[in-house]
Amino acid sequence: MVYGHIRRPATDRAIRRASFRLALPRLVSVRPKKRLGQHFLTDPNTIRRIAAAIDAPVGAPVVEIGPGEGALTAALLPLYPQLVALEVDPEAIGHLRKRFPQLDVRAGDVLDLDWNELAGEFGGRQPDGAGLYVIGNLPYYITSPILFSLLAARDSIDRVVVMIQREVADRIVAKPSTKAYGTLSVQLQRLARPRFLFPVSRHVFRPKPDVESAVIALDFADVPPLGVDEEAFRTVVRTSFGKRRKMLRNTVRELADAWGGTLPDVYATRRPESLTPEAFVELTRALGSS
């Protein structure tokens, strides 16, 4: 007696059928392009969570950066019919216009966009204080330039909800005296109100990125005025962290000489990562900016 299943050889027809299935390319709507840093979301739960996080009032102007295949767009458009989609990939643009005929798709590089001009199309900041709401899955290689462009236009923007590399998200919300705390932390924490919302696994993308991601929110409404020249503030922060292991007396004293101010003793022997964002404002004022 022979126990177990006897495997029969496959027929020629079965072999040909299996080979044909393997040879068929996977049908996708948009081909992800490495040069554009495209990684498309595939998980419905993650998509819903990101869309819900924008929390914009009914009728508010919402702008999506880099919609790609339109996974997030499909969740946003029924709620925000004025949605504007900013896309640089011609293939994705064609796909979006076909899939969402009613969608306002704008072709071009987001870094070339004048956010204040776009807000003006909607009447600028509304009487009730409402501005633009911006959402998107940012290309990791240009995350910082995009964030700084949004920061520069914060008078026209209420909230930003973006998915970025987890490491960058951690830097944005980092506390003083930690390794992650730096230029991005200070500027965004003083000029906005950043929040870490939730992590995103690399396994919910096509193709799968090499890093983990996270979703953050930046709120610009009701942030107190800086009180010093903004460019001077940025210069002090960048100069200080340019040599973060050195004491401030070795990095920013030249700024005091150039601006006609002084470097207070309380800051002279400290390193930049020990200063809070508000302390950098005070330091900027002392160095001669007002």
Q: Has residue 249 got a pLDDT over 50?
A: yes
Amino acid 123: pLDDT? 76
Q: Which of 201, 178, 188 is nearest to 273 (CA)?
A: 178
Q: Whole-prediction pTM value? A: 0.84
Domain locations in the chain as residue ranges? 34-219, 230-286
Q: Has residue 94 got a pLDDT over 90?
A: yes
- For 189-209, the pLDDT digits (tens) are 999 999 999 999 888 888 777
Q: What is the CA radius of gyration of the chain?
A: 25
Q: What is the CATH number of domain 230-286?
A: 1.10.8
The rounded mean pLDDT for the chain is: 86
Going from the C-alpha of 55 to that of each of 3, 45, 158, 281, the distances in angstroms are: 63, 16, 11, 31
Q: Has residue 142 got a pLDDT over 50?
A: yes
Amino acid 200: pLDDT? 92
Q: Has residue 28 got a pLDDT over 70?
A: no
Sequence-separated (6 or more) residues with CB below 8 Å from residue 259: 232, 287, 288, 289
Give the dihedral sign, CA 173/177/180/182. positive
Mean pLDDT value of segment 88-109: 94
Q: How confident is the model at residue 18 (pLDDT cuts 50, 70, 90)?
A: very low
Amino acid 125: pLDDT? 54
Mean pLDDT value of segment 105-132: 83
| DSSP letter string, 154-202 | GGGEEEEEEEEEHHHHHHHTPPTTSTT-SHHHHHHHHHSEEEEEEEE-G
Residues 134 and 216: their CA atoms lie apart, in Å, by: 12
Residues 39 and 33: their CA atoms lie apart, in Å, by: 8
Q: How confident is the model at residue 22 (pLDDT cuts 50, 70, 90)?
A: very low
Mean pLDDT value of segment 178-187: 96
Q: Give the CATH fold of the 34-219 domain.
A: Rossmann fold (3.40.50)
Mean pLDDT value of segment 124-151: 84
Q: How confident is the model at residue 31 (pLDDT cuts 50, 70, 90)?
A: confident
Amino acid 221: pLDDT? 86
Q: How confident is the model at residue 126 (pLDDT cuts 50, 70, 90)?
A: low
Residues 58 and 75: their CA atoms lie apart, in Å, by: 14
- For 251-278, the pLDDT digits (tens) are 999 999 999 999 999 999 999 999 999 9
Q: How confident is the model at residue 2 (pLDDT cuts 50, 70, 90)?
A: very low
Q: How confident is the model at residue 111 (pLDDT cuts 50, 70, 90)?
A: very high
Q: Has residue 72 got a pLDDT over 70?
A: yes
Amino acid 225: pLDDT? 94
